[in-house]
A = this chain, B = another copy of it.
Amino acid sequence: MIVAMRSDATQADIERVVETIAEYGLRAMTLPGGERVAIGITSSISHDVRDTLTEVLNSLAGVGHVTQVSRAYKLASREFNPVDSVVEIKGVKIGAPTFTVAAGPCAIENRDQLMQTAESVEKSGAKLLRGGAFKPRTSPYAFQGLGVEGLKLLKEAGEATGMVTVTEIMDQHDAELIAEYADILQIGARNMQNYSLLSAVGRMDVPVLLKRGPGATIDEWLLAAEYILCQGNSKVILCERGVHPLDRAYTRYTLDILAIPVVKSISHLPVLVDPSHAAGNRAYVPSLCCAAAAAGADGLLVEVHPEPSKALCDGPQALTLDTFATVMQQVKSLCGNKVF
């Protein structure tokens, strides 16, 4: 059971609810879910008590609504927030009815590469600029990113184009540093269950883009989001990027397109799709962009590079600037009823 407090609830209101729950011999947990506090009852409640308690709690000052949440995730659930969440950063909205596209190179390589990409994708309609400065690479011998130098270039490109920036964080101790330079912190697939990192960004007031691990079930993904939400940071954006494939003869992963309508029905959080990592081959990326838009995703995260053949990281899956422009036209035509 979750008691969602009103946004104007006072600390005294909150304490009164916690005490009331305690009087019934139940354990309450205060969940600072962004703009408004929620109080979860984590003990199991008998059917007899449930109805009485619901009535009592509903009558208390500051209480918004009381809901039963059967899932393991609470704050991420549609029951907790029946309305689609919208994360807003510098005027850019992520969440229905807006369709938001993030584009940019896998790794930031130099000023020219980044600036050329940013200017082009911005013209094509992307509102977010993505680019990796700290790169998680399967091999320790692969290019690991430009680090702080990359962050500076990202900030510069964001300011020059008026775009919101997103970059990956791999270590919670870089959180403050990265947040100085970038607008959205991305948690990559490999760190989806790095609970120290999730909790750390949960304690910050910065939007977080949470990618799904390739082996994570939908519940594991939403519980990872819950780790962030239950620390008080409600600005969570989900991103599907492909699950384990049957084989890798043609693609890197299997894009779980079904996850889009499923997550949209059980959670209020916005969901983007990353077609680039799923496909691993730019030939298939345009079809996936269209499929994601048609399936109801709230946006895309696409790898774009001015010269994919010279990319230091994931070149084969990056779209050229021109192809990206074309894809954006196609996607717009599929999103007639969305704000672009």
Contact = CB atoms under 8 A, between A and B. Distances in A.
Interface residues of A, number: 71
Contacts of A239: none
A213 interface: yes
A172 B333 CA distance: 46
Interface string A229-263: 01000000000000110111111001111101110
Given A194-B190, A215-B215, A138 B258 contact: no
B243 A246 contact: yes
A287 interface: yes
Contacts of A291: 257, 260, 291-292, 294-295
Contacts of A287: 260-261, 294-296
Contact of A141 (B29, B190, B283, B294): B29
Interface in A131-169: 136-141
Contact of A288 (B172, B216, B226, B261): B261
A279 interface: yes
A215 B214 contact: yes
Contacts of A60: none
A196 B217 contact: no
A294 B290 contact: yes
Interface of A: 29, 40, 42, 72-74, 136-141, 170-173, 190-191, 193-197, 199, 213-220, 223, 226-227, 230, 243-244, 246-251, 254-258, 260-262, 265-266, 278-279, 283-284, 286-288, 290-296, 333-334, 336
